[in-house]
Amino acid sequence: MADNFHTLTFQITTGSHEVALDITDRCTAFLAEHAAGRDGLLNVFVPHATAGIAILETGAGSDDDLLATLRELIPADDRWRHRHGSAGHGRDHVLPGLVAPHATLPVISGQLALGVWQSVVLVDTNGDNPRRTVRLSYLG
């Protein structure tokens, strides 16, 4: 692998309820080790059929608003054809169609080039699988 490409995975426990978890600090720590003042791209990917990556404000209610909106758009009820798991679990498999399982972000001088209020957030509505893998890949 070229020395301008670095990747790692980490595990995160999301729990038994839907969550929007801020993982910006994990991204920042990875870049501090591998980007070393360089410009490039960070790709954040969650290899699961029931989770996504969002860029949004956290802590001021937007993360909770996102989860509330997802509950309205894709309710956990019996309408879903995908029926294994807990009741309404089929909605979790629709989530990545609305919140993609990846995001590619600019890195400038080794730092994420996010807006003032933006964070990298793992979105998980699937309480059946509380253990998630996140892959960070830097190219620069």
What percentage of residues in the chain have a pLDDT greater than 90? Answer: 80
Does position 1 have pLDDT exceeding 70, yes or no? Answer: no
pTM of this structure: 0.94
Does position 134 have pLDDT exceeding 70, yes or no? Answer: yes
* For residues 111-131, average pLDDT: 95
Tell me whether residue 84 is exposed, middle or buried, using C-beta atoms within 10 angstroms of its C-beta: 0 to 12, 13 to 18, 19 or more.
exposed
Q: Which CATH number fits the domain that encloses residue 16?
A: 2.60.120.460
State the DSSP H helix or E strand holding residue 67, giving kind and residue range, or none if neither: helix 62-73
Number of domains in the chain: 1
Asked if 49 and 58 count as a contact pair (C-beta separation under 8 A), the reply is no
Find the domain containing 110 and state its range.
5-139
pLDDT of residue 85: 78
pLDDT of residue 3: 78
Asked if 55 and 63 count as a contact pair (C-beta separation under 8 A), the reply is no
pLDDT of residue 7: 98
pLDDT tens profile 47-104: 999 999 999 999 999 999 999 999 999 998 988 888 787 878 889 899 999 999 999 9
